[in-house]
Structure 1
Amino acid sequence: MGNSSDCEQVLLKFYAAEAKYIATGGKDFSEIASTLDPECVMYQPDSMPYAGEWHGHDGLERWMAAFGDTWASLTVENPTFYPSGADHIFVRSTVVARAKRTGTDITWPLLQMITVRDGRILDMQPFHWDTVPITAAAG
């Protein structure tokens, strides 16, 4: 990438595509895929409803389906970017979501560690403050 603002732009594009995917019931993964490196990996904690390591576009599409089965709406608000070299960035944000199964509205802080390669997300590892209320809301 070479530039932290390039990392920020790809992440903003990913967050917007993720929110749109959820809002439209997961009908089109292509906008999300355009932000992802073909060798991308998403790491999720074992305590989450969509736990595990999700590899490549196929894996991330399966993760988004599981993610979309959990949340009726979800947005990443007020992302603050902390560059760490040319291709690494940390993002502190607030997630605002509504669970599909319970109808519960929930907000939580999130820190993500992300690697970007050639203008696309290579890996994402979220750090949730507390997964217990998130999984409780998700049902």
Structure 2
Amino acid sequence: MTKAGESLLGTVEVVQAFYNAMKRGDVEGILAVVDSDAVLEEANSLPYAGVYRGHAAWRNLSAEFYATWQDSVNTIDSIANVGPYVVSLIRWRATSRYTGRTIEMPLAEFFWVVEGKIARLLPFYWDTAAVLRVIESE
């Protein structure tokens, strides 16, 4: 619920604010647009796989992600409100801290935005096997 006089960002604007905070490396800015009980699900094949619920879990995921990757950049191709969620199509580029190898691939992310906050995020990597090849030693 909002207080009298407050306005909610539109769903697409919430997702844009999320990406802007990511670009700045601003974890608190990210969490400002994420519900305190929000769920983020990472693919089971990734080293940071799992279901992350709540701000503390999102902070933990952020630490795990940035322990794996450096110079991570999301280039937004499009963001659209599609029924009950917002879909973003992005181009992700990052360098493995383990191997120094770089990956670039498309990603689709589905955001459920409720009352001006992200309630759920479900990212889909184009090729999780390629992710693993980049981070694993030969």
Unaligned stretches of 5+ in structure 2? 1-8
Equivalent residue, structure 2, for 1:61? 59
Q: What pairs up with 1:105-120 in 2 under 5 angstroms?
A: 105-120=102-117
Equivalent residue for 2:120, pick from 100, 106, 123? 123
Equivalent residue for 2:135, pick from 128, 133, 138? 138
CA distance in 2, matches of 1:81, 1:104: 28
1:95 Cα deviation (Å)? Answer: 0.5
Equivalent residue for 2:91, pick from 91, 94, 113? 94
Q: Which amino acid aligns with 1:83?
A: N
Q: What pairs up with 1:1-139 in 2 under 5 angstroms?
A: 6-21=10-25, 29-85=27-83, 87-139=84-136
Unaligned stretches of 5+ in structure 1? 22-27
1:119 Cα deviation (Å)? Answer: 1.5
1:79 Cα deviation (Å)? Answer: 3.2
User: What is the TM-score when the length of structure 1 is the normalising length?
Assistant: 0.84
Bigger radius of gyration, 1 or 2? 2
CA distance in 2, matches of 1:50, 1:105: 18
Contact 1:19 1:73 in 2 (8 A): no
CA RMSD of aligned residues (A): 1.6
Q: Which amino acid aligns with 2:28?
A: S
Count of aligned residue pairs for this structure pair: 128
Identity %: 27
